[in-house]
Amino acid sequence: MTEDEDDGEDGLKPGDEEDEPEGAVFPGLRILKEAVGRSKMHPIPVIRIEDRDSAPWTLITEDMVGEPSWLHAGVTRTRVPYIRANGKRVRRDRLDVPESFGAGVLCLIDRNGSFPSACSAVPLAPNELKRTGPLDAYDKAKAGIYLIDIPAWNRTDMPHPLGQILAAPDDEGRVWVSTPHIRLLARLVRERHLDAMPTIHDSWTGRANESLFKPFYEATKQARAELVEAGGAPYKAYKTRLSIALRLLWPKRAEQKSPFWRPDWRVSMVAEAEVRHWIMAFTAVLAGHTLVALRNVDLAIFWTPPGTPPDTYRIGTGFGEVKAKYVLSGEIIPEGDD
């Protein structure tokens, strides 16, 4: 369990909802609770149990985060056996790039701290979501969820901007998206990568706030800067507590206690991380770099000359920066550092 991974479950266990003891390396849950509690918008951190079985909460799913699982059409992916350092047998990807791509290597770009970075300015509705129905246009003063048509995307060098959201359309071919993706579509329209905004057929929104989680972001950024170079147990503890705090925004199991129950906050935070990931990859593609694969919220694979990452990324250990590794075509894609 790391700051950049989501295993499809909530990854939580009894006791995780308790505040960290004094002197903890990173009291992530206490910091997140304090950030929400100090907001002048009087957020509602927990939706009442009796309200959870009706809209809008029943409309919110993990599909709305939009994480991609995209591979360039010319590249062949094979799942092969692999033994981790701890002896566990798993399966890993092997990517074979055709000769038509020219000389090069696979450049693995790994974004640092995708989830906590997203907390710097994720658009959320701190209070309750109210049904605002069909909208003539997206109102940037609001945040929430939107039922839209799927916009056409004709590029073959980049995945669709909605990612895996496309896998769960309703009977009329429409999908629910959160604010980060509706903002992404508006940006793509402004930059003329999309012809027009899709129709908003329905919506549940509230007054938008982008700073609700900002104190949490600032604390994680400072802690990472102090701990990442040292590594070891303190850095591992930092990553664990960071992950637990963000997962507690939406515990999946009824028996798991939490000071939060806001699926819209959790989904929007992960969607914001994914949108930033997508934009960074698209920026590189527009600059002429060849994208081979785009995954999750932190991994992009390009075809580049050896030792030469796309110049649109910043190499480093801080937030907003990336790590770069190089693998030959046909070699197993290694696991991340975390």
pLDDT digits (tens, 9 = 90+) for 236-280: 999 999 999 999 999 999 899 999 999 999 999 999 999 999 999
pLDDT digits over 51-77, tens only? 999 999 999 999 999 999 999 999 999
In a domain, 227, yes or no: yes
pLDDT digits over 75-116, tens only? 999 999 988 888 888 899 999 999 999 999 999 999 999 999
In a domain, 149, yes or no: no
| Paired tokens of 66 | 């939009």
How far, in Å, CA of 225 to CA of 234, rounded? 12
How many structural domains is the chain composed of? Answer: 1
Mean local confidence (pLDDT), 196-207: 98
In a domain, 8, yes or no: yes
CA of 29: how far to CAs of 21, 33, 63, in Å?
Answer: 11, 6, 25
In a domain, 322, yes or no: yes
In a domain, 64, yes or no: yes
Length in residues, the chain: 338
Q: Can you give the pLDDT at residue 336?
A: 54
In a domain, 260, yes or no: yes
In a domain, 59, yes or no: yes
CA of 172: how far to CAs of 147, 148, 175, 181, 204, in Å?
Answer: 11, 10, 9, 20, 19
Three-class HEC string of 175-236: EEEEHHHHHHHHHHHHCCCCCCCCCEEEEEEEECECCCCHHHHHHHHHHHHHHCCCCHHHHH
In a domain, 143, yes or no: no
How far, in Å, CA of 280 to CA of 285, rounded? 9
**Its pTM surpasses 0.85:** yes
pLDDT digits over 145-171, tens only? 999 999 999 999 999 999 999 998 999
Task: Count CB-CB contacts under 10 A for residue 8.
Answer: 7
* Residue 226: partners with Cβ closer than 8 Å, 6 or more residues away: none
Domain that holds residue 63: 1-122+212-338
153: helix, strand or coil: coil
